[in-house]
Amino acid sequence: MFKKVLIANRGEIAVRVMRSCREMGLGTVAVYSDVDAHALHVLEADEAVCLGQAEPAASYLNIAKIIEAAKQTGAEAIHPGYGFLAENAHFATACAKAGLVFIGPSPRVIEELGSKTRARQIMEKAGVPLIPGMLEPTMDADVLLAEAQRMGYPVLIKAVAGGGGKGMRMVAKAEEMREACASACGEAQKAFGDGNVYLEKNLIQPRHVEIQILADSHGNVVHLFERECSIQRRHQKIVEETPSVALTPETRQAMGRAAVAAAKAAGYVGAGTVEFLLDHDGRSFYFLEVNTRLQVEHPITELTTGVDLVRLQVEIAAGAALPFGQDDLAQRGHAIECRVYAEDPEADFFPSPGRLLVHREPKGPGVRNDCGVYEGFEVPMDYDPILAKLVTHGRTREEARQRMIRALQNYVVLGVKTSIGFLTDVLASEPFIAGQTYTDFIPRHFAGWRQSADDLELAALAYAAGESSQTNVASGPGKAAGWPTPWQTLGGWRL
């Protein structure tokens, strides 16, 4: 086992990885940009190395600087978290060349599965069901137009590299095709350095269901059941749950077998996720992609299976065999995750950077909050504005849902706009209660959402109360109003 691990990431995922490393008795090294000098992951690490300016290319995407930081601190392994360099084959190769262990799959596997068309080719040979679509990428609008005509509209244009909805466009008719191709290719080139795209048939009202896999270097592969991630904004998940209300035991088993077959076909080692689209009939499912890293939504799998996925990632990277087989795994209860962002749902979820004037986390039975910020922290405008992943676990879906609503109502953040009110309304909505969670959930049910007037009034009163409590007047109108005096706020200090 390693003695020290460098976490090549920031925010809540860096903090999450550090906590498992600490439980394992491993030293931790944080890296950070200049705007993150006082970030929580820096404060929680045993050591920290500044990489440079806020621009990701100068810091969190700078492979040479990260490798140097590992050498400088004596770290033997690097955990990439998710995002940034987590699915970068060049980074995994650079780690190996420097004598460092990359906690993830091999560079070859990352490269092959990172190309969505190459991944489709591998899955086709393995017998994994595929959505009708192209197996070769292109930037030629004429080729894409001909393929769309052959497939039939609507179609999805998808970037061959990367994820997060970038380089993706849904096209409903031929007249829109050329403009959509140019837009998708340009966005893909800017985001991933590769403007190639391909087409897939666009399914009507599917669900996004993924399977967590674990594979060791001894040939053992298991799945840890599914996560439903259909509630998305801009093709990015914001609410996830497990088990999925849509899967029958037979479909769950079939999807799990397909995910294991996919991992074996790719020669996968480590933790990963095989993503599928589940058709409206609830039985037919199709391969979407493989994420060669830890997923944002991994905590709900941990809560329902009792498995620490980060610990297993580290152990597998150190050469250990899986400590269990497929028959040893079972789901217990139901878990829901809500991603809490500093963003404005009323303005198309536009980021809302700024200082957290108040930050009060919810607590209670069955509540877990993987958080990367603290009160007084300045949320930078340079990175993904996620604050935390709030997770609840219950014996039933309804118990987990009610716990989530209470947790959201008790999550207090002032100073930036957040998605908390929006998420509360999503969890309380009739379509969510009924399990009607398809990928068009937000545009179908929450287009034009606005915060209720009652919520805004309550927030204003809370802020006013906080301001008045800091006034600390000892006489005059403040004293008459019952505001605290300095003697009530000095704690143990006395003249």
Where do runs of H (alpha helix) occur along 115-226? 116-126, 141-151, 177-192
> How many Å from the N-terminal Cα to the C-terminal Cα in the chain?
55
Residue 5 phi, psi dihedral angles, 5° rounding: -125, 130
Pairwise CA distance, residues 202 & 205, whole Å: 9
Cβ neighbours for 382, distance < 8 A, ≥ 6 positions apart: 33, 35, 54, 55, 56
Which residue in this structure is represented by tokens 């299976």?
305
Where do runs of H (alpha helix) occur along 209-266? 249-266
Is there a cis peptide before residue 154, judged by omega within 30 degrees of 0? yes
Q: What's the number of CA atoms in the CB half-sphere (13 Å) around residue 394?
A: 17
Which residue in this structure is represented by tokens 């509630």?
231
Nearest Cα neighbor of 103 from 189, 168, 24 is 24
481, two tokens: 């109003």
188, two tokens: 């893909």
Helix-strand-coil percent breakdown of the chain, rounded to 5?
40, 25, 40
Pair 206, 191: CB distance under 8 Å: no
SS3 78: strand
Where do runs of H (alpha helix) occur along 267-325? 298-305, 309-317
Pairwise CA distance, residues 78 & 70, whole Å: 8
Pair 389, 405: CB distance under 8 Å: no
Pair 209, 276: CB distance under 8 Å: yes
Pair 169, 176: CB distance under 8 Å: no
Pairwise CA distance, residues 330 & 253, whole Å: 12
Paired sense of beta strands 101-102 and 77-79, if any: parallel
Cβ neighbours for 451, distance < 8 A, ≥ 6 positions apart: 345, 346, 421, 422
Query: Is residue 293 annotated as a catalytic residue, yes or no?
Result: yes
Choose the catalytic residue: 227, 233, 252, 293: 293
Which strand ranges, in their side-by-side order, compose the sheet holding 285-291? 285-291, 270-278, 207-215, 221-233, 236-242, 334-341, 386-394, 367-371
| Residues known to be catalytic | 293
